Chains A and B, each alone.
Chain A
Amino acid sequence: SYELTQPPSVSVSPGQTARIICSGDALPKQYAYWYQQKPGQAPVLLIYKDSQRPSRIPERFSGSSSGTTVTLTISGVQAEDEAHYYCHSADSSSTYEVFGGGTKLTVL
């Protein structure tokens, strides 16, 4: 079965830049999406189609793609950004949707 791989955790100091990488064999063919989830809340879409940001999402969140990896970059991290982040995409035949295992971002 198809898998997306993310690091379990990332730590960064306030004001620094956090990068969360997601890897998967079908990512060159399929768009990736990123979500933020805080405890007890539903996920929130941060990035769609690899690098597009919904208007309500702060500009410090950005996405990029290169080969079999996609990256979520959070510039000028704030304490409120501490959360779990999930990447999402589809397999090469668009039959299955898949989520990465999630990355816990800790703001030191």
Chain B
Amino acid sequence: DAGVIQSPRHEVTEMGQEVTLRCKPISGHNSLFWYRQTMMRGLELLIYFNNNVPIDDSGMPEDRFSAKMPNASFSTLKIQPSEPRDSAVYFCASSSRRSASYEQYFGPGTRLTVT
């Protein structure tokens, strides 16, 4: 299994531009999570989906952030317009609700730099 796949691995953009981060969960997993990690705030849960439906988006910082999961094998996190304070590593994780541990498998992350 290839694990959780995220693209791009690195993104550098200018303030005001739209940024789209992509995630392919592990096949068969039915929960997907988006996290953001910075030195100041640590690892924060932004939003999670069960069976492609957003369940909890209370961690999404503001309306500039949006996430979609059009099918079981793909999700996007979009920032429009981007700001320098959005610079962080963004992780996607997936898990199976059939697993007793609800173990989450994390992708390698996307390092976003907004200048």
- Are A and B co-members of a single complex? no
